[in-house]
Amino acid sequence: MKEETKKKAMVLFIVGSLFLSSIAFFVIGFATSSAPPEIEPLTSFVLEKELSRESESFYISNGFTVLKLFHHNSSLDEFANGLPDSMTTVGGQRQLIVEKIPANQTYVTIESLNGKQVVNNPDEEKITAVLCEGLMLKPSVCLFGNLSAS
Helix intervals (H) in the chain? 3-32, 53-61, 77-86, 124-134, 140-149
- Please write the tens of the pLDDT for every residue from 116-125: 999 999 999 9
> Residue 50 has what pLDDT?
93
pLDDT per residue over 19-65, tens digit each?
A: 888 888 877 877 666 666 688 889 899 999 999 999 999 999 999 99
Residue 29 has φ and ψ, to the nearest 5°, of: -60, -40
pTM across the whole model = 0.72
Q: What is the mean pLDDT of the chain?
A: 87
Residue 147: is its pLDDT beyond 50?
no
What pLDDT was estimated at residue 90?
84
Distance, in Å, from the CA atom of 126 to the CA atom of 137, rounded to the nearest integer, reads 18
Assigned CATH class of 46-149 = alpha beta
pLDDT one-digit tens code per residue, 92-115: 899 999 999 999 999 999 999 989
pLDDT at 150: 44
For residue 146, the model assigns a pLDDT of 53
Give the pLDDT score at 145.
Answer: 62
**Cα dihedral 142, 143, 149, 150 sign:** positive
What are the Cα distances from residue 85, in Å, to 7, 15, 59, 82, 90? Answer: 74, 63, 17, 6, 11
- Name, in order, each residue with C-beta under 8 angstroms of 101's C-beta and a sequence gap of 6 or more: 49, 50, 68, 69, 70, 71
Q: What does R_g of the chain's alpha carbons equal in angstroms?
A: 27
Question: Given this model, what pLDDT does residue 16 score?
Answer: 86
Predicted confidence at residue 32, as pLDDT, reads 67
